[in-house]
A and B are shown apart, each in its own frame.
Chain A
Amino acid sequence: MADRKAPQSLTPEEQKRRRKRSLALALTLGALVLLFYVVTIAKLGPGVLQRPM
């Protein structure tokens, strides 16, 4: 951690690439959330939330 220098100023092209990477990561995380939800419903059925208390 001590070796890590402060972020340098990015060129417009580098900023654009970083934005695209961030967007791709966000979309991947969103897709994972959706995937876990759909798999849960598929494996356990729609009655997954209707459990006896």
Chain B
Amino acid sequence: MSTMSNSLTEARAESLATAGLSQGDVSDFFALLKPRVMFLVVFTALVGMVVSPSNVHPVVAFVSLLMIAVGGGASGCLNMWWDADIDAVMTRTAKRPIPAGKIQPGEALAFGITLSAGSVIILGLVSNWLAAGLLAFTIFFYVVVYSIWLKRSTPQNIVIGGAAGALPPVVAQAAVTGQVSLDSIVLFAIIFMWTPPHFWALALVKSGDYERAGIPMMPNVAGPDATRFQILAYTILLAPLGMVPVALGFGGLAYALVSFVGGLGMLALAVQVYRLREGEPAMRVAQQLFGFSILYLFLLFATLLAEHGFGLFRPVLG
């Protein structure tokens, strides 16, 4: 019944699109921007800004942040345009606006390209062209390198594609300082190294979904056990990397505590994921690692924000 009404909706949407009219609601267009990913982009970019010593005007900083958010949303939109066919067969994504028949692929493509171009040009005019170039590269990397090229061709898709999700702090720092420093590269590295254990924990739970869609995620290609080993390996690298801001001096006492305890938590769960391989407990612990990884990254960046944005920074030594 729902399939029938869905195809009726799609037929109507197509006929309206032929007449130059959209079927989509404002909320459908907003959903194309992947609001939750956009929040993560804004959040990490904001931290990239506050840890940078700059005396840029607050309005310029705000508009730069807004354009980074719009650019992030645009790349999400173009990703949904390209991936509409596989989104339709995965339970997690089947209700997205394009597979649900609410928005035509062409509309999403035009929306995404317009927002991409607009965000890059405005960021360039408002801040500088290094930041704009980095934003353009981020969008290109996410849409062309990750979505179009890697996602369907290699189990290393999210490892390499993770670079796009890790770039917002670098773009943000470039927007307010005009350069890229080691601090923002470390923030980039933390998100980059966090991405594989985060996504592979989800992939262990949702491997059936990815298999149906024909996406070569690590559990489907190398097997769940090899994935568990790689999750552990990346987490062993991630936990100390999370503490590098302390060594570089932009992570204070609170950050040192949070990154140490959080890193231990990630390690403990990764070890559990490696050890528990059968049945319900294995799925449950993978789900727990996925959930905790979100909390871990959030806490790392929230602590940096609190230390630099709200004057709570206390040096670890002295």
Query: Number of residues in B with C-beta < 8 Å to the partner?
Result: 18
- What is the interface residue range for chain A against chain B? 10 to 19
Does B207 touch A at the CB level, under 8 Å? no
How many Å lie between the Cα of A26 and that of B227 in the bound state? Answer: 49
Main DSSP-derived SS at the B contact region: helix
- Contact, CB under 8 Å: B21 / A10: yes
- Contact, CB under 8 Å: A4 / B20: yes
State how many angstroms separate the Cβ of A12 from the closest Cβ of chain B. Answer: 14
How many Å lie between the Cα of A47 and that of B171 in the bound state? Answer: 30
- Contact, CB under 8 Å: B24 / A42: no
- Contact, CB under 8 Å: B19 / A39: no
- Contact, CB under 8 Å: A5 / B63: no
- Contact, CB under 8 Å: B25 / A39: no
Given A5-B18, A39-B126, A43-B57, check contact A24 B26 (CB 8 Å).
yes
Question: What are the interface flags for B6-20 relative to A under an 8 Å C-beta threshold, 1 for contact and 0 otherwise?
Answer: 000000000110111
- Contact, CB under 8 Å: A7 / B23: no
Question: What are the interface flags for A13-43 relative to B under an 8 Å C-beta threshold, 1 for contact and 0 otherwise?
Answer: 0100110110010000000000100110011
Contacts of A8 in B (CB 8 A): 15-16, 19, 21
Question: What are the interface flags for B50-66 relative to A under an 8 Å C-beta threshold, 1 for contact and 0 otherwise?
Answer: 00000001011001000
Does B22 touch A at the CB level, under 8 Å? yes
Contacts of B16 in A (CB 8 A): 8, 14
Given A38-B59, A39-B59, A43-B57, check contact A21 B15 (CB 8 Å).
no
Contact of B63 among A3, A7, A35 (CB under 8 A): A35
Given A20-B26, A21-B24, A39-B126, check contact A4 B59 (CB 8 Å).
no
Q: Which residues, 85 to 128 on B, are CB-close (under 8 Å) to A?
A: 122, 126
Select from chain B the residue with minimum beta-carbon distance to A11.
B12
Q: Which 7 A-B pairs have the closest CB atoms?
A: A42-B59, A24-B26, A42-B57, A7-B19, A20-B26, A17-B25, A5-B19
Show the binding face of A for B, using Cβ within 8 Å: 3-8, 10, 14, 17-18, 20-21, 24, 35, 38-39, 42-43
A-B contact pairs, 18 of them (CB 8 A): A3-B18, A7-B19, A7-B20, A8-B15, A8-B19, A8-B21, A10-B21, A17-B22, A17-B23, A17-B24, A21-B24, A21-B25, A21-B26, A24-B29, A35-B63, A38-B59, A39-B63, A42-B60
